[in-house]
Amino acid sequence: MTAKIAFIGAGSLVFTKNLVRDLLTFPAFQDSTIALMDVNPDRLAFAQAAVERIIAAGGYGDVAVEATTDREAALRGADGVVITILVGDLDVYRHDVEIPKKYGVDINIGDTRGPAGIFRFLRTLPAMLDICRDVERICPNAIVLNYTNPMAMLCRALQGETKVQVTGLCHSVQGTAAMLAGWIGAPMEEVTYTCAGINHQAFYLDFKWNGEDAYPLIRDAVANQPAVYNEEIVRNEMFLHLDYYVTESSGHNSEYNAWFRKRPELIEQYCLHGTGWNPGEYGLIVKYGEKMKNQWQQQMEQWRDAPIDLARGEEYAAYIFNAAFGDGTLFKFNGNVRNFGLIDNLPEGACVEVPVLASRRGLEPIHVGKLPDHLAILVNTSARCEELAVEGALTGDRRKIFQAVAFDPLTSAVCSLDEIRRMVDELFEANRGWLPQFEGYGRQEAQAAGPRTGA
């Protein structure tokens, strides 16, 4: 039986073309059907052309491509579903960072947690629930892989409100592992690790090279090699003081705690001069989104004539699908799942990021145990704020949204409770029309899913 994989938000071109490329490197999928769905016909047409170009370059003549704006048609008969959507345009997204900035909350990216991440979640959840309820009805046995942020809150809500087998994927786990291996000169095939926590705030509980603890080598590189230290200043400061390395970039992690962005001099010291990607500039993703909005057609045209690289990448999706309904090769990855006996000192039922085994049996999370006590303090704060935000979103309770923002570490470090209340009120007004779960804040017309353009 040939497999069918549906891409919802297929106009997110980088994700779509890279994941399709990866899928077709597995023989089990070289006679598959790739269904591309997007609400933007122009982006959909280019995604179709890109996929067909990959098929031609690889000689995958037995692969069928369907392109449609009809989500039900895309999902019909699907074995796997990939979600890469963005709800709301740049004009509403910019409020997520510009309104908190008025109150002193200086946000770099704002797509995961804190005030910006929470309101992005509130906008995105109705569309994501619609997609997963369609999956329940149309292809209930499909495995759903989500790449849309904010990862933890969305996965927590989807896994609690639907019966879909869904997990969220983030390349920061394998990406950071490769970075650390590079710093100490270790080939990745000789590296093993255990990584757990929550999305963007997971830590390598062990990191080994040929079975030996590699943390002393990493500490030596961070402490004694300026080029290494400067590449990830925020994360390296966290490692030097907390003793475990965190998965997501310095730009993201500078937002998730109270240590780096609460005063201008701290932003100057820790956030503006790193050499890695998104070192900490305010509103970086708004600026990136503006650039992409203005240049995406030009970049697509350039890609049309660029050489095709058919080598398999490091994203997890194709490996997971291959394990579940391809050739059955087992695959272990870090995924976002609810915490039912997985991490002992994080909230029961919260969304955690832990090792997961993919096989013919589906997706089976692996028990990790306890986080080190000091890491549990940091991660519990974020996880409990996310739990509050999810409950507020599902019940339409504005008070819970305010409370979730009030306990965000960076927000609480710079704002009074009354300032936070006023900030949240402004964010609700700026999002008027995008929040149907809150009385008086829904649009008259139905919201549809567009392509993911964030980080």
Note whether 24 and 53 are within 8 A (CB).
no
Q: Specify the amino acid at residue 141.
A: N
CA–chain centroid gap for 161, Å, is: 20
For 403, other C-beta atoms within 10 Å of its C-beta total 18
Read off the tokens for 181.
Answer: 């291996």
Count of helices and strands (H, E) across the chain: 18, 14
| Cα–Cα distance for residue pair 135/139, rounded to 1 Å | 5
Quote the tokens at residue 309. 């690289």
The residues that bridge with 323 in the sheet, in sequence order, are none
Query: What is the chain's length?
Result: 455
Mind giving me the DSSP string for 394-439? HHT-HHHHHHHHHT-HHHHHH--HHHHHHHHHHHHHHTTTS-TTST
Helix (H, G, I), strand (E, B) or coil at 443: coil
DSSP string for 197-259: EETTEEEEEEEEETTEE-HHHHHHHHHH-HHHHHHTHHHHHHHHHHSS-BSS-HHHHTTSSSS
Q: Which helix (H) or strand (E) holds 65?
A: strand 64-68
Q: Which of 171, 252, 367, 374 is catalytic?
A: 171
Neighbours of 212 (CB within 10 A): 9
Let me know if 171 is a catalytic residue.
yes
Q: Is 68 helix (H, G, I), strand (E, B) or coil?
A: strand
Q: Is 38 exposed, middle or buried (0-12, 13-18, 19+ CB in 10 A)?
A: buried
Cα angle 367, 368, 373; round to 5: 140
Measure CA of the first residue to CA of the last residue in the chain; give whole Å.
Answer: 35
Alpha-carbon gap, residue 405 to 117, rounded angstroms: 10
| Catalytic positions, written as ranges | 171
